[in-house]
Amino acid sequence: MKLIIQIPCYNEEETLELAYNDLPRHIDGIDTIEYLIINDGSKDKTVQKARDLGFHHIVSFRRNKGLARGFMAGMDACLRLGADIIVNTDADNQYCGADIEKLVRPILERKADMVIGERPIDETEHFSWKKKKFQHLGSWVVRVASRTDVPDAPSGFRAYSRETAMRMNVVNEYTYTLETIIQAGQSKMAVASVPIRTNPETRPSRLFSSMWRYMKRSASVIIRSTAMYRPLQFFCTIGLILFVLGLAVGIRFLVYFFMGTGGGHVQSLILASVLLMIGFQTITLGLLGDTIAANRKLLEDVQYHVRKMDYDGNPETQTPDDAAQEEQEK
- 291-318 burial code (b ≥16 CB/10 A, e <16): eebeebeeeeeeeeeebeebbeeeeeeb
Q: Which one-letter amino acid corresponds to residue 290?
A: D
10 vs 257: which has the higher pLDDT: 10
The Cα 316–Cα 294 span in angstroms is 33
Give pLDDT tens digits for 295-308: 888 888 888 888 88
Give me the CATH topology for the region 2-229: Spore Coat Polysaccharide Biosynthesis Protein SpsA; Chain A (3.90.550)
Residue 319 pLDDT: 46
61 vs 324: which has the higher pLDDT: 61
33 vs 262: which has the higher pLDDT: 33
Q: Which one-letter amino acid corresponds to residue 11?
A: N
Percent of the chain exceeding pLDDT 90 equals: 43
Q: How far apart are the first and last CA of the chain?
A: 33
Give pLDDT tens digits for 52-81: 999 999 999 988 888 889 999 999 999 999
Give pLDDT tens digits for 252-293: 888 877 887 766 677 888 899 999 999 999 999 999 999 998
> Given pLDDT bands bounded at 50, 70 and 90, which one contains residue 126?
low
* Contacts of 263 by beta carbon, 8 Å cutoff, 6+ apart: none
316 vs 73: which has the higher pLDDT: 73
Q: Does the pLDDT of residue 206 top 70, yes or no?
A: no
Residue 269 pLDDT: 85
284 vs 330: which has the higher pLDDT: 284
Q: Does the pLDDT of residue 236 top 80, yes or no?
A: yes
Q: Where are the domains of the chain?
A: 2-229, 231-301
Residue 222 pLDDT: 85
- Write out the H or E segment, with its range, that includes residue 85: strand 85-88
- 166 φ, ψ (degrees, to nearest 5): -70, -15
